[in-house]
Amino acid sequence: MRQIVLDTETTGFNPKLGNRIVEIGCVELHNRMLTGNNLHFYLNPDRESEEGALAVHGLTTEFLSDKPRFHEVVEEFREYIRGAELIIHNAPFDLAFLNHEFKMMNLPPFDGHYGSIIDTLVQAKEMRPGKRNSLDALCDHFGISNAHRKLHGALLDAELLADVYLAMTRGQNSLSMDVEVEAAGGGVHLEHVALADVLVLSASTDEVAAHEDLLNGLDKAVKGSCVWRAAAA
């Protein structure tokens, strides 16, 4: 399964008021593994960012002045996401801007370019009703380090969201199950039978080293401590 964790930064909060995308960040997952095949663009929106949006991402007009326009990267972007399942936090916001950009270029709606979509904000609200479910709050909840996140950035937020999504969907953590069985009156009495010895196979030195290398790679990908180190701690 190919999944793309996607995030955008914009000049404002409503594309109907002429606001544009200034950054796109995409992180690829294949069979729930980070591949490193990410995609990232800064974009020149040909307009100023609103004060509130600028305070969020810090991407000034001067910084964006020499960056490509959306139409210069759209084909690479379309090919990258084609047929993938998208993972977005608060998907309606990003989709509204992407559909607006595609409409301005007389392209088919963005909705038709990907296979399906997962909104992690919807998932989080179902898992944690009544609680804060911003990306920062979810990082805190799942023990994902975001100390390096001073401002929002599309690629950085996509990397954090990838870790959050994997943590949210990793499934049952324990191999045991707590099951209460109430014996009905008149039930058949069963003899206690000794369980077989539990075999413990320790990892070899090479396997431990390979595991540490993998964790180091995940730490590097998230620019901090990955969720698996937090779980081990």
Give catalytic residues, as residue numbers. 152
Contact 113, 75 (CB under 8 A): no
Q: How far from the centroid of its chain's Cα atoms is residue 95's Cα?
A: 16
DSSP 50-84: PHHHHHHH---HHHHTTSPPHHHHHHHHHHHHTTP
CA distance 158 to 216: 19
Using DSSP, state whether 87 is helix, strand or coil: strand
Residue 30 backbone dihedrals phi, psi, to 5 degrees:
-125, 120
Q: Which helix (H) or strand (E) holds 28?
A: strand 21-30
